[in-house]
Amino acid sequence: MISVIIPAYNAEKTLPDCLEALKNQSLIPQEIIVVDDGSTDRTAQVAKGFNVIVISQPNQGPAAARNAGIAQSCGDILLFTDSDCIPDAFWVERMVVAFTNPVVDGVKGVYRTHQSEVAARLVQMEFEDRYRLLSRSGWIDFVDGHAAAFRREAVLQIGGFDPAFPEANNEDVDFSYRLAAAGKRMVFRPDAIVYHRHPDSFWKYFKVKIKRGYWRMIVYKQHPGKAIRDSYTPQVMKFQILFIYAAAAALFLSLITPHALWGVGLSLIFFILSIAPFFRFVERSDPRLAILGPWFILVRAVAFSLGILGGLAGMLAFRFKLSPGKPS
């Protein structure tokens, strides 16, 4: 039995397209559950119009909302997507077929977008770059909540999502890392597609990445080994962040000694060299975007650098409710 669970907060505008897509799948799920997470708009009423199961709760965040859906569900296979996503017509079928392998406990699908804005297209390029990394891994350790599927027993074994996360940010990363720590096997399905609206300006993207950096540091508090390497994060991105920190430190030291400006120059040179692989990838995919690729990476690196600084402070105050699981 297949259950699809959708956490929704103030989603009356986007939820109809999501539910319509789920109602027209090549493989129809036996139940669709929408968890209205304390919305102040007509999210619950919209969901009820599609004849799906609707659960309402006070606003607690998507982690708690997914847990409420899990508790209500009957499925042996649990699929998750977001209320602002539109699954492709074959999404359910392509996600669940991976479970014909009895050792698979989790499946990750992909984002696509129909947007034409430059920022959104570069965001999609960033995802595609990460998908190339995932495709080289036999088993993965990260399944994000917009296109996810898990065996029910695996989800229950680790206690579900950690409700300590108050917003839609890295709660799925923590969940995936705990699954991996418990020895569960997860795979990547690049043909299991959901469509999404990415940030359509560099400023919106910048704000998103600051928060991503903040919450990723919170997750690393619980899973320090993943700060070194995981299956989803390009290693070069970590060096780019270090180059930003080095340039900032050298610029500050230049107020004391002008010789420190050499450090600024060297850091920027190494940063530019590190961008080359992404630049070539964008150039091959869409040459018109290539000139903006380096600026896009600069925005990402600066945003993450700022978010990480905040996250280091946030690590002191944040308290998890669930354990990270036992190493496999």
The count of C-alpha atoms lying within 13 angstroms of the C-alpha of 299, restricted to the half-sphere facing its C-beta, is 18
Confidence at residue 138, expressed as pLDDT on a 0 to 100 scale: 87
**Domain(s) of CATH 3.90.550.10: residues in the chain:** 2-198
Give the pLDDT mean for 241-245: 96
CA 204 to chain centre: 16
Band (pLDDT 50/70/90 cuts) for residue 137 is confident
Band (pLDDT 50/70/90 cuts) for residue 326 is low
Q: Does domain 2-198 have CATH number 3.90.550.10?
A: yes
Helix axes 171-181, 62-72, angle to 10 degrees: 60
Burial class (CB in 10 A: 0-12, 13-18, 19+), 327: exposed
Question: To the nearest whole percent, how much of the chain has pLDDT over 70?
Answer: 99
Instruction: Give yes or no for residue 328 having a pLDDT over 70.
Output: no
Q: What angle do CA 127, 4, 64 make, to 5 degrees?
A: 80
CA 202 to chain centre: 18
| CA–CA gap between residue 96 and residue 87 (Å, rounded) | 14
Report pLDDT digits (tens) over 93-103: 999 999 999 99
Instruction: Give yes or no for residue 236 having a pLDDT over 60.
Output: yes
Query: What does the mean pLDDT of the chain come to?
Result: 95
| CA–CA gap between residue 14 and residue 12 (Å, rounded) | 6
Confidence at residue 297, expressed as pLDDT on a 0 to 100 scale: 96
Give the pLDDT mean for 174-190: 96
Report pLDDT digits (tens) over 277-309: 999 999 998 998 999 999 999 999 999 999 999
0.85 surpassed by pTM? yes
Across-strand partners of 37? 57
Band (pLDDT 50/70/90 cuts) for residue 323 is confident
Contact indicator for 158, 88 with CB cutoff of 8 Å: no
**H helix or E strand, kind and range, residue 276:** helix 261-285
Question: To the nearest whole percent, how much of the chain has pLDDT over 90?
Answer: 96
Report pLDDT digits (tens) over 205-221: 999 999 999 999 999 99
